[in-house]
Amino acid sequence: MTVKVALTIAGSDSGGGAGIQADLKTFQELGVFGTSALTAITAQNTQGVHGVYPVPVEGVVAQVRAVLDDFEVKACKTGMLFSTEIIMAIASLLEEYPPIPLVIDPVMIAKGGQSLLLQEAVQAMKENLIPIATIITPNIPEAEVLTGMKIVTDEDIQEAAQIIIELGARAVIMKGGHRNDVLEAKDYYADCEGQSFTMTTPWVQTKDTHGTGCTFAAALTGFIAKGYSLSDAVAEAKQFIQAAIEDSLRIGSGHGPTNHWA
Ligand code: PLP
């Protein structure tokens, strides 16, 4: 039996709802073989992040190299990258290999407010990683950091998407889940060829949304690995995350996880 392979370069969530754990569970659900390179270990549960322990840069590089030297990786995703050093090392390492579709989830801050990306590392992400991205998946607060804009209206979202494309990403999906709209979850896609569309699903009222961003980006990566076009992969990932939020799990005492086997 053959199977498509995907790689996630991200942080570990001991609580199992976000990070590497969410990515691997999502890949499995999509029938894609998941490989991983850990960038940081977090001591975490549904209440929040209690500690962050970065992996030494050599260890991150060695993991990515071990995977890329052996597997034909069809799509790669980055999540929590934590530091400038890790971002720079991954960007230059990926350039050594034939191009692989790259999904960047620009993870910055956990729901509880803990930093998953050092502030000084934002510049390295903009200069070194975004230019090699196939697609980047910011939520509104992350898009505000990347563009320096205050994003409120639909026009703001479109303008911010253009700025992010000008940083060098081939495409961007602006996730609307942080907007104060209780009726619908509206995401905006735009790419460097001028294609754009909005995807809307009904708002799901739940506090159990831990790992939503990771799961969405992992699903997108999985569908790309399976050979879907970028716009089809985005649409499938949107349906996947909608189902995962609708079926989210009431486990733990804080924000429960979205359901990866939805
Ligand atoms: N922990 C890790 C390792 C992550 O990669 C992420 C998300 O990107 C989070 C925590 C944050 O998850 P949430 O904000 O959905 O709770």
Query: Other CB atoms closer than 10 Å to residue 16's CB: what's the count?
Result: 20
Query: Is-catalytic flag, 76?
Result: no
**Least confident stretch, 39-43, 200-204, 214-218:** 200-204
Give how far Cα 227 sits from Cα of 3, 103, 160, 162, 243, Å.
12, 14, 28, 26, 22
Which residues have a Cβ under 8 Å from the Cβ of 224 and sit 6 or more positions away? 74, 75, 101, 103, 134, 230, 233
206 is catalytic: no
**Where are the chain's structural domains?**
5-246
Task: Output 243-246 pairs: Cβ under 8 A, ≥24 positions apart.
Answer: 244/212, 244/215, 245/204, 245/206, 245/208, 245/209, 245/212, 246/204
pLDDT for the residue 177? 86
Percent of the chain with pLDDT over 70: 98
In whole angstroms, give the CA distance from residue 158 to residue 137.
14
Catalytic residue, chosen from 19, 34, 79, 213, is 213
6 lines ligand 1 (CB under 6 A): no
Q: Residue 112 is encoded by which pair of tokens?
A: 């509880």
Beta pairing, strands 33-45 & 48-54: antiparallel
Q: Confirm if 137 and 173 have CB atoms less than 8 A apart.
A: yes
Distance CA 51, CA 245 (A): 26
Q: Annotated catalytic residue: which of 34, 79, 211, 256?
A: 211
**What is the per-residue pLDDT across 133-185, written as a single tens digit (0 to 9) for each?**
999 999 999 999 999 999 999 999 999 999 999 999 999 999 998 876 668 99
The angle at the Cα of 98, spanning 94 to 102, to the nearest 5 degrees, equals 55
* Span from the CA of 44 to the centroid of ligand 1 (angstroms): 9
Ligand 1 centre and the CA of 14: distance in Å?
11
pLDDT-based confidence at residue 215 (cuts at 50, 70, 90): very high
What ipTM is given for this predicted complex? Answer: 0.93
pLDDT single digits (tens) 44-61: 999 999 999 999 999 999
Q: Sorting pLDDT into bands at 50, 70 and 90, what band is 220?
A: very high
Annotated active-site residue 192? The verdict is no
Closest-CA residue, ligand 1 atom 16, reads 210
pLDDT at 71 over 70: yes
Name the token pair of 104: 């960047």
DSSP state of 119: G
> Is the CATH number of domain 5-246 3.20.20.140?
no
Q: Catalytic: 134?
A: no
pLDDT tens digit sequence for 124-138 = 999 999 999 999 999
Sheet holding 48-54, edge to edge: 48-54, 33-45, 5-13, 73-78, 102-104, 135-136, 171-174, 184-191, 196-202
Average pLDDT, the chain: 96
